[in-house]
Amino acid sequence: MVADDHAILRTGLRMLINAQPDMEVVGEAEDGIEAVQAVQKVNPDVVILDVTMPRSGGLDAIKHIAARNRSTRVLLLTMHEEPAYLRTALAAGASGYVLKKSVDADLLSAIRAVSKGRTYVDSELAEILVRDAFSKDDIAGSAANSVLSDRELQVLKLVAEGFSSREIAEQIYISTKTVETYRARFAEKLGLKSRAQIVRYALNLGLLSSEKFTIGKKRTKLQP
């Protein structure tokens, strides 16, 4: 099953996969909520998830799929190259992680590997993961809850998940300019100068793998 918010990409993946003698696409979804529901219906051997999708992304969907469909293997197909996304995905229960830029070379191999119970990680990220010792010391400020407001934490989480300022504004019902203001505030308070640092900080706080914060006016639930 394929879950991605871009219909053109889903079509391309379906054509690529269906052309293989040992594979067939049995379902599609355009966000994490639909993915969880569709997996319940079709029970695929492998589900391919994008990390960043509307309403709910792949990172939020992984643990629900892993908990409810233990025979379904989760493979992340994403543009995010930061090792923190990989760590979060594997910790949540994913079996594979492939970059979209490597889809032609790696995706089919990854599908076959995870379907057999193995773990598959994009070679570029695997090398980074080996030599990158995860450290909390390079990010200023360890007590974020006493430093940041709830809204600043909320924006930090969404930035770390890969959403643009415009997309964040639409989700939490504020202006794009206000999102940029919150982003500048938490970056200044915590000394975060790059997206990679923001991702690592959010990972340290558990924001990438939890549903701690309400997005918008009410929490969006993944249960069908």
Q: What is the per-residue pLDDT for 143?
A: 44
Nearest to 98 by CA among 203, 217, 13, 202: 13
Nearest to 161 by CA among 110, 89, 111: 89
d(CA 97, CA 209): 16
d(CA 20, CA 162): 32
Q: What is the per-residue pLDDT for 212?
A: 36
pLDDT tens string, the chain, 224 residues long: the values are: 999 999 999 999 999 999 999 999 999 999 989 999 999 999 999 999 998 888 878 888 888 898 888 899 999 998 888 777 887 888 788 999 999 888 877 899 999 999 998 989 888 787 666 555 444 444 434 445 556 788 888 898 899 888 899 999 999 999 999 999 999 988 877 777 788 888 877 776 667 754 433 333 333 333 33
- Domains belonging to the chain, first-starting first, are 2-131 (3.40.50.2300), 136-224 (1.10.10.10)
Helix (H, G, I), strand (E, B) or coil at 218: coil
pTM of the model: 0.62
| Tokens at 61, concatenated | 């969907």
H or E stretch including 29?
Answer: strand 28-29
